[in-house]
Structure formats: C-alpha cells, structure tokens
Amino acid sequence: MTKIHAAITGVGGYVPDYILTNQELETMVETNDEWITTRTGIKERRILKGEGLGTSYMGAKAVEELLRKTNTDPKEVDLIIVATVTPDMPFPATANLVADQVGAVNAFSYDISAACSGFLYALTTGAKFVESGTHKKVIVVGGDKMSSIINYKDRATCIIFGDGCGAVMLEPTTEEVGLMDSILRSDGSGAQFLKMPAGGSRIPASYASVEANLHYAQQEGATVFKFAVTNMAEVSAEIMQRNNLTSNDVAWLVAHQANKRIIDATANRMGVTDDKVMMNIEKYGNTTAGTIPLLLWDYEKKLKKGDNLIMAAFGGGFTWGAIYVKWAYTA
C-alpha cells in the first residue's frame, strides 16, 4: 500500500506592530544593548498591546493568512491544534477560540502544552491524523503572548521573550515529501529550572501568589542553556544519522530561536554552515512555540520542493526534539 505523508502546504504568520528594542529595555532594567546582542543575538521583539487580546488573536490572524494563501474555505478544515503556554485562559482551549474566530465550524480543536518544543509536538501529532487517512486538512499553530507572563523587572527573562504566532497547513500526499521522521523527548525533572509556578492547581491565584511574583515565567538561564546546547545538538545529529543525511543533504536548519549561541552550537554539531541556518531571533526574540513557524513564514520564498529541513527545539519541561521534513512546494 502507498504510504500517505503529511505535507506542509502553506504557512501563515502574525507578529504585533509594537517593537520593544534593547534600547527601551535599557530604561526598564539594568542591562545594555551590547550585552543582550552578544549573549543572545536579540535586538528587538514584538509586544501585543490592547485590552483583552490574547494568544488566540494572533493565532487567528496567522490562520486567516494561511487560509487566504492556500485558498482554503474554513469550513473544509478538519482539525486545529494550537501549541502554546500562554493560552487566552486555562479553559476553553485557545484552539477552540481560534477555530471560532476563523469560522472553522467543522473542525475539532485542542491545545498542546510543551513550551518551546510545542510546535514540534503539535506538528508530529497533527501529522498522525493526516497519515492515518482520517483527516485531510489539519492546521498546526504555534505561538505565545510571552509578554503576559514576563516580569519586566527581571532581566533574566524580559530581554529574551516576545510575542508572535505562526501556522502551517498539513495535507496528505503520496509523494516522497512532508514529515519524514520525528524524535520527541521530555524530562519533567527539569521543571524547576524553567517554569511559571502559580496559576495552576498547585498554587492557585491568590493575593500572596501575585505578591510573590509567582505568575511570571522564571528561568535559571545558565542551567537551561547547558541542557539546551547538549540536547538540541544531540537530537538533531540523531535524526540526521537515522535518516542517513549528511550535512550536504540538509538544506536548512530550522531551530528554536532562544539564543543565537545555542543555535550556532547545534549547527556546528550537525556540520551545517551559517548560510543554511534560518535566523530571525534578532527581530522577534524568543516567541516560545512561535519561533519555528515564524522562521518558515520569513523564509518561505527561499524554500524549494524537495529541500531537506531539520527542525529542532528545546524548552520548558524540559521538552526537546527534532523533526525531518522534506519541503513540499516551491513558493
């Protein structure tokens, strides 16, 4: 029987207009442009302003663009998965809200929480519905409104994160393109190093939890850095090896944009040169589940049918992984 692959057939994206520069951060916390640029590669990030606007607002904008670009009637969409750690609210799922906002009335929809690896988890999960033959049009969204959980007095986190969302369409094909392989991992013992402690069932919201700043993302940067460098590079090398790919076969590394030094270390381990490394960290910072689809959004015009892409991520959980995608179209 011919194998059905799940091919990415389009990309949409959305970033808010407001630009938070390193210079503006210098007026908010004890930091400077030179430190941020050399330690992370970030120059600016986008911030979603406006009362009552959450992640679903950005997700819906990204999906609307995706539907336009792929000429898709929202009624044809079977499933929408949203990867995020900043849902509009604990429930209902942000995916339910996105589906409603874009008119995807025949889709079922749910969220996935895997922090910076969320898009890889969601893409792998969405692909299974397509590969099984049960679903024909699956939209995978990754994005976060990180500004909603960032303490702008904490220089360990506020210089890194930004807001934004990307979305891709998955459709079945019998050609040798699409999602070819995926390795996903997690280790909950890393939770202590990168987390938002309150607002869940363990520490529900209270005056005390707000007073203690427990509703903000907290990170032990240097520890996360160490685990990220090792694991992202390791899993990227592993997926190349088990698919018999050499660095010459890889057209693009599509790595989570957390820190330019982590991305460089991953590329180095894979033997991939700088010109094959997608990079937009300088303008968006770390948008958590948004980084990988926003890279695809920015680089779509450069991608050609048959290009081998290695996507890789590491983040809170800890979660990490790599996906091998053979690109399905020339834009």
Instruction: Name the site residues for ligand UT7 (rule: CB under 6 A).
Output: 31, 35, 39-40, 116, 155-156, 159, 221-222, 224-225, 228, 258-259, 262, 286, 315
Distance from C-alpha of 217 to C-alpha of 115, rounded to nearest angstrom: 11
Of residues 72 and 148, the one with the C-beta less far from ligand UT7 = 148
Q: What angle do CA 76, 142, 188 make, to 5 degrees?
A: 125
**3 state SS of 91:** coil
| φ, ψ dihedrals at 3, nearest 5° | -80, 135
Q: What is the DSSP string of 257-297?
A: -S-HHHHHHHHHHHT--GGGB---HHHH-B-GGGHHHHHHH
* 152-168: burial string, b at 16+ Cβ within 10 Å, e else: eeebebbbbbbbbbbbb
Q: Which residues pair with 167 in a beta bridge?
A: 12, 141
Shortest spacing between CB 237 and ligand UT7, in angstroms = 18
HSE, CB side, 13 Å, CA atoms: give it for residue 171.
Answer: 14
CB count in 10 Å sphere of residue 237: 17
Shortest spacing between CB 203 and ligand UT7, in angstroms = 21
Shortest spacing between CB 227 and ligand UT7, in angstroms = 8
Shortest spacing between CB 312 and ligand UT7, in angstroms = 12
- Do 159 and 221 meet the contact criterion of CB atoms below 8 Å apart? no
Distance from C-alpha of 45 to C-alpha of 30, rounded to nearest angstrom: 18
User: Which residues have C-beta within 8 Å of that of residue 18, sequence separation ≥ 6?
Assistant: 46, 47, 48, 49
Distance from C-alpha of 185 to C-alpha of 125, rounded to nearest angstrom: 14
Whose tokens are 């820190």? That residue is: 259
Of residues 135 and 195, the one with the C-beta less far from ligand UT7 = 195
Of residues 159 and 198, the one with the C-beta less far from ligand UT7 = 159
Catalytic residue numbers read 116, 256, 286
Of residues 96 and 147, the one with the C-beta less far from ligand UT7 = 147
Of residues 224 and 279, the one with the C-beta less far from ligand UT7 = 224
Q: What is the DSSP string of 62-73?
A: HHHHHHHHTT--
Of residues 104 and 224, the one with the C-beta less far from ligand UT7 = 224
Of residues 94 and 231, the one with the C-beta less far from ligand UT7 = 231
> Where are the alpha helices (H) located in the chain, listed in sequence order?
22-26, 33-40, 55-69, 94-102, 118-131, 207-211, 221-242, 260-270, 281-284, 291-299
Shortest spacing between CB 98 and ligand UT7, in angstroms = 23
C-beta nearest to ligand UT7: residue: 221
Shortest spacing between CB 2 and ligand UT7, in angstroms = 39
Shortest spacing between CB 132 and ligand UT7, in angstroms = 31
